[in-house]
């Protein structure tokens, strides 16, 4: 059975913020709320425009990342946060697209070794393994030193499509997931459904450029 590890939340997902620091000023709190409201208002097409597209000639792949979306200014305080975004890997020859969630988890205390993830689907809760990309001591503050793990896990395109179909700019709707370790606990966070829709649109643009058929996003109601 998984040990439950519940980190103190400043506000509930969909944000890229999970606080380990309880000493948040009122000014910083209001600033983060303003940033969250601004992110919720962004359309999927605008998020697609923000996404980075890089090509790896050695691997014959194209990588799309929504990391530039929803960048927050945390100010001078020693805060510990998470960052999560969508990554798409496209095979240049076949046009096959792999959708992933990229998580940079930061926390205080011992290493969590987040080697599993779970998320909801139309058929129930799905569980999968994560791939560890890196881990390090990220930052230190008067409240202790934070650990950082970077992990990634695949999600089926059908799950991405289902979330994207519900995406609405201006609506605070998250696609949530849990990253965890059976013996060390985990964390629950998420990405905006508009971000998943934006990743779909960006992937389709690249597949069209490559002369491949792309994901059908015409019925996702993501008009800008």
Helix (H, G, I), strand (E, B) or coil at 75: coil
Mean pLDDT (whole number) for 138-147? 81
**The pTM is what?**
0.80
Helix (H, G, I), strand (E, B) or coil at 178: strand
Asked if 187 and 7 touch (Cβ cutoff 8 Å), the reply is yes
Number of residues written out for the chain: 224
**Across 21-25, 185-189, 191-195, least confident range:** 21-25
Output the CA–CA distances (angstroms, integers) from residue 72 to 29, 31, 34, 36, 84, in the order listed.
12, 9, 10, 8, 12
Q: What is the pLDDT of residues 42-91, one digit of tens each?
A: 999 999 999 999 998 888 999 999 999 986 555 444 455 789 999 999 99
Q: What is the pLDDT of residues 152-162, one digit of tens each?
A: 999 999 999 99
| Residue 221 vs residue 125, higher pLDDT | 125
Residue 93 has pLDDT above 50, yes or no: yes
User: Cα 54 from chain centroid?
Assistant: 18
DSSP 8-class letter at 207: H
Q: Which pLDDT value is given to residue 139? A: 76
Beta strands in 12-166 (DSSP E): 52-56, 61-65, 83-91, 97-108, 116-121, 124-129, 131-141, 144-155
Q: ∠ CA 187-189-191 to the nearest 5 degrees?
A: 155
């Amino acid at each position: 059975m998984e040990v439950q590890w519940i980190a103190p939340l400043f506000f509930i997902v969909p944000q890229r913020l999970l606080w380990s620091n309880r000493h948040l000023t009122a000014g910083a709190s209001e600033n983060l709320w303003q940033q969250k409201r601004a992110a919720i208002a962004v359309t999927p097409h605008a998020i697609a425009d923000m996404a980075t597209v890089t090509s790896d000639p050695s691997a014959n792949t194209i990588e799309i990342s929504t990391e530039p979306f929803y960048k927050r200014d945390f100010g001078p305080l020693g805060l510990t946060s998470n960052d999560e975004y969508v990554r798409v890997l496209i095979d240049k020859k076949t046009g096959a697209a792999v959708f992933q969630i990229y998580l940079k988890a930061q926390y205080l205390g011992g290493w969590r070794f987040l080697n599993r993830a779970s998320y909801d689907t139309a058929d129930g809760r799905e569980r999968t393994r994560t791939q560890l990309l890196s881990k390090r001591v990220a930052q230190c503050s008067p409240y202790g030193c934070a650990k950082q793990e970077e992990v990634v896990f695949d999600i089926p395109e059908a799950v991405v499509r289902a979330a994207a179909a519900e995406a609405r700019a201006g609506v605070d709707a998250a696609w949530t997931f849990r990253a965890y370790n059976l013996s060390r606990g985990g964390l629950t966070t998420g990405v905006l459904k508009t971000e998943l829709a934006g990743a779909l649109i960006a992937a389709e643009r690249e597949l069209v450029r490559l002369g491949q058929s792309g994901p059908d996003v015409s019925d996702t109601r993501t008009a800008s």
